[in-house]
Structure 1
Amino acid sequence: MFRIFSILLVGIMLQGCASKSYTTKLETPIERELIKNDYFSSIDSKSNKHLSASIGDELFVMNRFLPSTKEVVSIIPPTGNKFPYSSVWSGTYQYNDGNSGDLIVYTTPGYYKGTIGILLDENEEMATTHPLVQVEGFKKGRRWKLNANGKFFTIPSINIDSWALRYGGHNDNKYIFEIVNKHESKNTDVLQTIYVSEEKFRKGFIIRNVLILGLNTDEYGVIQYQISDVLARNS
């Protein structure tokens, strides 16, 4: 009987030491500031650069995005419960295993009542390959791997506009442009044909809140131009 008790006691001690905890509860939780994403478009990186297009080419493809109003966690954890899609997380523990440096463990009451949290660095990126850590309970210190990296919290964006502007050539001293549908369309539907005079081409003209400034036309009919998103200036 004594031998059985001794074996059980050793087993419990070994199980308790299997996952050493390096977490310390913070006296004052760290309240997070919700991340914010601004309006952006697919032509932002091309703004005010010298571009060129031949007849039949698309001058640009415009996709406009607006952020949703909720910050979410879309990662799937290996534990039985999923992360709450939209919840308030706070830094409640500090973690340091001697090599990691000081990291913050973020928890939320909506995920295992705050007993399991996520290890994040100062940029709120997952700090290790096993960033999920149990901070309370019998198996305190247990870690899990996540098949993800980078930012833990995200704000999904909604595509509110999708179209392209195609160059149709030059005829009767006018430049021809076609607005082509791109949103949920497998066909290149021409939504509208626009004729632009030489003067307007040189001074700049606006189509669907995109400013196009014509710079030059060479002998082969290739146009050079600049573009900028008018809405981006006002966002």
Structure 2
Amino acid sequence: MLEQLQQIKNWLEESRHTVVLTGAGMSTESGLADFRSKSGWWQQIDPRTVATTEALTHNYQLFQQFYSARIHALADITPHEGHRILADWQKRGLVQHIATQNVDGLHTLAGSHNVDELHGSIRSVRCQKCHAAAEMSSFLANEACRCGGRLRPNVVLFGENLPQQAWNSTLSHMKAAQLVIVIGTSLEVYPVSQLPHMTNGKTAYINLEIEQSHFDIMLKEKAGEALKIIDALL
């Protein structure tokens, strides 16, 4: 493992354009459950019943309860050392871009800038009908918008398109990358799963469950632990 981490460290120092792509496994060390591991959200709840436009339209009570529980779960969650290391690497010019499938906002809270949130953010709310911004407290209280529409978090639901600006920005950075580090994601969700294929640079994959085979380095490790070792080597 140390040899692989040393190689990632070397690539990081040599690369002039490094992109980091993170998923739910990046946040588990902060105390958040992931989605597709054996103990993740989707082993307990079928996403097709809650995280969809159909649920928003036809089963709003379940939709509102599910996302309210996720929002409340974030109340005492803070970024871990791995988040802070990535933010520091950005400031030092070692990382040029961070993209994430996570909706928790922990990269930004850790000090990262210009983070592309490919699946949106659970920390803000809008009306599904008129698209006006709304107060989080109104959503948690199960209130409707002034126009009568249903409130929802600004997350990407199954069946919805990704935010175009975030997608185009990340795609551009991927094509320019000399190094792509993918951390804590199973890469099962399209179209984000295709992003690592968009680079001609070196690729490293860090995840507790290795289900990919097309990376130059594949490391079965916790995100924060791997990042701390690489940072120490730097």
Q: Do they superpose with TM above 0.5?
A: no
Higher-Rg member (1/2): 1
Q: Which has the higher contact order (CA 8 A, sep 6+)?
A: 2
Give the TM-score category using the shorter length: under 0.3
Q: Give the structure with the higher percent helix.
A: 2
- TM-score where L is the length of structure 1: 0.19
